[in-house]
Amino acid sequence: MKYATRLLLTILFFSIISFSIMILWVSKAIEHDSFTTIEKQMMEKADLCELSIREILARHDKETTKADPSAVVKDVLSVLKASGSEVRIYDDRLNLLGLAENGIIRYNGTPRIYNENLVNALKGNYAYTVTNQHLIYFAIPIQDKYYQTAYVFEIVEDISYFYDILDTIRTIFIIGAGGFLILITLSGLYIARKTTEPIKYLLSATEKFSRQQFDPVELNRKDELGMLAAGLNLMGMKLNEYIKYQKQFVSNVSHELKTPLAAIRGFSQYLYEGETEEQDLKKISFHLINESDRLTRLINELLILSQFDNATPDLNAGKEDLSELTGCVIHEMKASAEKRGISIKADLTTGVWVNVNKTLMSHAIANILENAIKYSHAEGHISVETYLDSATAVIKISDQGIGIKESELALVQERFYRAGNSNLVSGSGLGLSLCREIVQKFGGQLLIESKLGDGTSVSILLPLA
Ligand SMILES: Nc1ncnc2c1ncn2[C@@H]1O[C@H](COP(=O)(O)OP(=O)(O)OP(=O)(O)O)[C@@H](O)[C@H]1O
Ligand SMILES: [Mg+2]
């Protein structure tokens, strides 16, 4: 079912339920209130009738020693014949003594008698019954001078006017409710259309996104839908950037793989052609080993990066002494520094413990130290320090090499970015980005300070274990 239809049906459902309850409740309240008024009026009338009949009885008692019932009935009917649309008088054994219908007195006939009503009145109380034809039979007990119920006087009234008023009120309510429902349906349709229009627009935008068309979503609203559009825009922008990045990444990787592969291919061809002297053979083998190492390193770094791109990479962190970790890396790289006459001065504070994966952190430190060696002038000096700075463990590697331009300091931490100064030295531009990701994975950060021509110092800041 469409959202607009569901919205409309929900509004209509609740409106109908509310209107039905309201109409029922109001008509019951009016019925109850009005009936109480009718009851009160009938009682007032009954009081007056009782008074008149008592006067008639008193007069008869005075005139004769024993009041003559037929004379009493005659007098009562002639005085009270117009008190209701029908009045009746019964004796204490509930025999009908006479009645007056529309003001005309009759002493015979078999009208409908509600015995229960009369029996209740005989007990000395007012009693009434309302028939299905909307007639009220109101019975009034009349007592003689000995306070015995001698007669029952009954007034019959047509109260259908009251039910007619009730019906009119109900009809007005139902027509009003119908009008309201029509209004609600129309406004519901309007609201549903107004709500679904932007939703449809957003839906079409997401469909375009799925076809990689990231046109901006323009929905000028300040409500939740406007926020959703802004969210979609942001998502589209990020997705676009990500897709571009992925494409660039694949092309960079292919390029970086191509160079050593082409070199390996060239040297292999040279070997194949077979006219190689002993001296060249050694050189070729050296290059082949070099290029294969470069390939292996690149692939290893790509594997680490792809592992980091997973939502939950397996880090296997453990408590390590930073000075020990750095010492090992310096020991491994000392030979390659010495080849270029570069000295490494180490100042390592022991007992600075960090929570890291030993292999990954060694890889990061080695990358920075390798850069310091690669980008230093021959016979240069490198200093490596590990120390505790308040609650942070620090490894700082400083060189006096070629340095990095200030505008490129942030860029060199991006994947595959190589600064303009690095043309003469081989590399893929992955090292620092990998370092930064490794350090961040263990809650730390990478700081690079450099001055072109003066040297660079790279610091790894890590939380203590
Ligand atoms: N110590 C440094 N001195 C001067 N420039 C540096 C130094 N370290 C990094 N750079 C610059 O930053 C760039 C990025 O360094 P990164 O280590 O990421 O890549 P790379 O050394 O070129 O290649 P890779 O490390 O992948 O073999 C380098 O190409 C270089 O221009
Ligand atoms: Mg490097």
Q: Which of 293, 297, 298, 375 to mutate to test the pocket of ligand 1 (most atoms within 8 A of CB)?
A: 375
Atom of ligand 1 nearest to the CA of 458: 1
Q: Is pLDDT at 22 greater than 60 in this prediction?
A: yes
Domain boundaries 3-164, corresponding CATH code: 3.30.450.20
Name the DSSP class of 464: B
> How large is the average pLDDT for residues 175-196?
90
pLDDT at 427: 86
Q: Work out the pLDDT band at 25, boundaries 50, 70, 90.
A: very high
Distance CA 333, CA 327 (A): 10
CB atoms within 5 A of ion ligand 2 belong to 371, 431
User: Which phi and psi (to 5°) does residue 351 adopt?
Assistant: 80, 15
Q: Would you list the domain boundaries of the chain?
A: 3-164, 224-309, 318-463
Q: How many Cβ atoms are within 10 Å of 98's Cβ, its own excluded?
A: 19
User: Which phi and psi (to 5°) does residue 143 adopt?
Assistant: -100, 150
Write the pLDDT tens digit of every residue in 267-289: 888 888 877 677 788 888 888 99
Distance CA 59, CA 405 (A): 132
Measure 375 CA to ligand 2 centroid, in angstroms. Answer: 9
Q: Is pLDDT at 28 greater than 60 in this prediction?
A: yes
Lowest model confidence (mean pLDDT) among 40-54, 129-143, 300-314, 318-332: 300-314
Closest CA to 347 of 394, 313, 310, 380: 394
Distance CA 333, CA 159 (A): 114
Closest CA to 50 of 149, 169, 185: 149
Q: Work out the pLDDT band at 43, boundaries 50, 70, 90.
A: very high
Closest CA to 317 of 431, 441, 437, 445: 441
CATH topology of domain 318-463: Heat Shock Protein 90 (3.30.565)
Whether 169 and 30 have beta carbons less than 8 Å apart is answered as yes
Lowest model confidence (mean pLDDT) among 44-53, 55-64, 155-164, 253-262: 55-64
Rank 63-77, 323-337, 418-432 by mean pLDDT and report only the highest: 323-337
Ligand number, closest to the Cα atom of 432: 1
Domain boundaries 224-309, corresponding CATH code: 1.10.287.130
Instruction: Report in angstroms the alpha-carbon separations of 201 from 78, 86, 218, 229, 232.
Output: 86, 75, 9, 10, 12
User: Which phi and psi (to 5°) does residue 318 adopt?
Assistant: -145, 165
Q: Structure tokens of 281? A: 């053979």
As to burial, measured by CB atoms within 10 angstroms (0-12 exposed, 13-18 middle, 19+ buried), residue 264 is middle
Distance CA 83, CA 49 (A): 8
Helix H or strand E encompassing 333: helix 322-339
pLDDT at 294: 87
Q: Structure tokens of 316? A: 């296997």
> How large is the average pLDDT for residues 165-177?
90
Write the pLDDT tens digit of every residue in 62-120: 776 566 778 889 999 999 998 888 999 999 898 899 999 888 888 776 788 898 989 99
Instruction: Report in angstroms the alpha-carbon separations of 261 from 173, 301, 393, 425.
Output: 89, 17, 40, 18
Lowest model confidence (mean pLDDT) among 299-308, 314-323, 339-348: 299-308
The response to whether residue 418 sits with its C-beta less than 6 Å from ligand 1 reads yes
User: Which phi and psi (to 5°) does residue 49 adopt?
Assistant: -60, -45
Residue type, 383: S
Measure 429 CA to ligand 1 centroid, in angstroms. Answer: 6
Q: Is pLDDT at 303 greater than 60 in this prediction?
A: yes
Q: Structure tokens of 146? A: 């000995």
The response to whether residue 431 sits with its C-beta less than 6 Å from ligand 1 reads yes
Q: Structure tokens of 409? A: 């300091």
